[in-house]
Amino acid sequence: MFHHIAAIARHTIRETHHGRLPWIAIGLVLLCVLMAEFIGNTALTDAEQIKAGIVGFALRWLGALLLAVFVIASQVRESEDRIIELFFSLPIRREHYFLGKLLGYLALAAYLALLAGLAAALYAPPAVALAWALGHLLELALVAGFALLVAISIGNITAATCAVAGFYMLARGIGALQLMATGPFYDADSLADRFLAAAVDYVALIVPHFDRYAPVDWLVRGEVRAVTDIPLGGSLPQAAVYLLLLCAAGLVDLRRKQL
């Protein structure tokens, strides 16, 4: 059982090498650092904070984008080239295939988070950069899981990319949406306001709160602020449960697929 999963994971990791993804990621990190140095040096004050902010902000988005595009493109190509059918013609269970692929993508997520953490450590204390990188890893793990799920379910690069982008932006902004829905202009007597606030709260139940996973504020301030925001305290159980949910949904969908 496990050797099937490990073999498929290794195959997926090899695929990232063939796609020059490690080098692309290093290039992007260097580009972000150079951009941060350039913009930071034009600032009148708070140059280090500005650099940390730019690096963290850009790498968070780029990491998620790179990972999602790779997962979706890889899965859709496997589907179109009938490689999935080839896998399933072998004595491999569909669950093993799914978990193997997910494990490979999680390895890629760990690599991206490591690079981002190293870049962040240039501008923030190492402990803060480590906590931020862990939070970023959890975020990337869920992006990989969701991208795998929609790539298998939808099987179309454009639609799947849009779905992942929507999911990521919603997860990043859900905290702000909740605040806005009950912000200073919230009228408790208005039915529409109450409905909107409740709707946002319900949506918040089914999306992970990426806004708490790896806030760039940590790097800018040089400290991990609230205890509940520490990934290993608050976000890790949520990410674990959510990854389990994505796996279950992906496996149900894969089981239903008629090849």
Partner 1 sequence: MRRLRLRLRCLSGAGQQRRLREVPRPLLLLFAGALAAQLLLASATPRREAPLQDSASAATAAAAEMPQAFIEPVARAMALGDPATFSRALSLWLQNADYEPGLSLPLASLDYPRVGAWLDLQLALDAENRFPMLAALHLYGSVGERDKVRWMLEWVARHFREAPAARWRYMAEAAVKAKHKLGDLQLAYRLASELDQRTRGLPLPGWARQLHIFLKADLGEREEARALLGALIESGQITRPEELRFLSHKLAEMTAQKGDENPDEVLTNRRQSVDISPSMP
Find the distance separating the first CA and the last CA of the chain, reported in whole Å. Answer: 22
Query: Least distance (Å) from partner 1 to the CB of residue 95?
Result: 8
Query: For residue 13, how far is the Cα from the chain centroid?
Result: 17
Please list, in sequence order, all residues whose beta carbon lies within 8 angstroms of the beta carbon of residue 217, skipping any fewer than 6 positions away.
Answer: 225
Smaller CB separation from partner 1, 112 or 214: 214
Is 65 a binding residue for partner 1 by CB under 8 A? The answer is no
Smaller CB separation from partner 1, 107 or 182: 182
The piece of 11-19, 35-43, 103-111, 126-134 that touches partner 1 (CB under 8 A) is: 35-43
Residue 183, Ramachandran bin (φ over 0: left; ψ between -120 and 50: alpha; else beta): beta
Would you say how long the chain is, in residues? 259
Is 205 a binding residue for partner 1 by CB under 8 A? The answer is yes
Is 209 a binding residue for partner 1 by CB under 8 A? The answer is yes
Smaller CB separation from partner 1, 74 or 153: 153
Smaller CB separation from partner 1, 157 or 249: 249
Query: Least distance (Å) from partner 1 to the CB of residue 236?
Result: 11
The piece of 14-22, 74-82, 104-112, 149-157 that touches partner 1 (CB under 8 A) is: 149-157
Is 206 a binding residue for partner 1 by CB under 8 A? The answer is yes
Please spell the DSSP secondary structure of 58-97, one letter per residue.
Answer: HHHHHHHHHHHHHHHHHHHHHHHTTHHHHHHHSS--HHHH
CA distance 68 to 246: 15
Is 245 a binding residue for partner 1 by CB under 8 A? The answer is yes
- Whose tokens are 């600032």? That residue is 43
Is 31 a binding residue for partner 1 by CB under 8 A? The answer is no
Query: Least distance (Å) from partner 1 to the CB of residue 2?
Result: 18
With H, G, I as helix, E, B as strand and everything else as coil, classify residue 183: coil
Which one of 24, 92, 165, 251 is in contact with partner 1 (CB under 8 A)? 251
The closest of 27, 56, 33 to 131, measured between CA atoms, is 56
Is 247 a binding residue for partner 1 by CB under 8 A? The answer is yes
Q: What would the x/- binding string for partner 1 be over residues 150 to 189, using CB under 8 A? A: ---xxx-------------------x--xx--xxx-----
With H, G, I as helix, E, B as strand and everything else as coil, classify residue 19: coil
Instruction: Supply the angle between the helices 126-154 and 236-256 in degrees, to the nearest 10.
Output: 20
Which one of 39, 165, 170, 230 is in contact with partner 1 (CB under 8 A)? 39
CA distance 217 to 4: 41
CA distance 134 to 128: 10
Is 204 a binding residue for partner 1 by CB under 8 A? The answer is yes
Residues that bind partner 1 (CB under 8 A): 39, 42-46, 95, 153-155, 175, 178-179, 182-184, 204-206, 209, 211-212, 228, 234, 237-238, 241-242, 244-245, 247-249, 251-252, 255-258
